[in-house]
Amino acid sequence: MRRALVALLTTPLLALVAVSTPAPAEASHRPEPRQAPNHKVTRSTSTNWAGYAAAGRTFTSVSAAWTQPTATCTRQQTYASFWVGLDGYTGSSVEQTGTDADCSASGVPSYYAWYEMYPKFPVNLSPAAYPVAPGDHLSASVTFATRNSFTLRITDSTRGWSFTTHQKQRASRSSAEVIAEAPSSTGGVLPLTDFGTAGFTGASANGQSLATFKPDRIDMVSGGTTKATTGALSSAGAFAVTWQHS
């Protein structure tokens, strides 16, 4: 559910917990992505999501790991987000954290981490304090605590940082997802960055492999064009999403 927005915060965030590191920073304003709920076409296709979503019960946690993909940029602004989250598959809110691989109109790639309590706008972490680069090993989790409280954590073990924040939001917790997304702006779904293949491992929900819940396998399809395809999910929660078209 990433929306195109970015602003760097220079003051500590409310209820922020970071591992002995500075507060996140918003990024500068530019017409970019924000995450959004699933724009479902059918049970197995979406115009903005690819990956797996489990539903049909109440979820209290979701987690996964992935290797940060490399953005192949041309002369087009494109965006791609990789994240874990609760809600959004069947509801209108999403609690999520992940990373982006974006391309500017001049063909320059950018990589950064973020979190979002949709429909609130996302908060992008400062690339200076929380750098992300292609090939980095990321892991992330979203956990329900109590009384509409959530803990969102993302770690880059390659760069040696971890970020945790505690946020509040009324949510149904009716789904758990591990997703590659084409973010959205006010004008709709944005062009998808050519990220090659994004490999996810250890996808789990409620402390069990995501495969336990027989999740829906989602391909990203828009106007008859397949933009990303999702591979088979292993019993250990590993799968890959492959870019096909912007």
Per-position pLDDT tens, the chain of length 246: 555 433 333 223 233 233 333 344 433 334 456 666 655 555 699 999 999 999 999 999 999 999 999 999 999 999 999 999 999 998 889 999 999 999 999 999 999 999 999 999 999 999 999 999 999 999 999 999 988 999 999 999 999 999 999 999 999 999 999 999 999 998 899 999 999 999 999 999 999 999 999 999 999 999 899 999 999 999 999 999 999 999
User: 33: cis peptide before it, omega within 30°?
Assistant: no
Architecture of domain 2-40+62-194: Sandwich (2.60)
What is the domain partition of the chain in residue ranges?
2-40+62-194
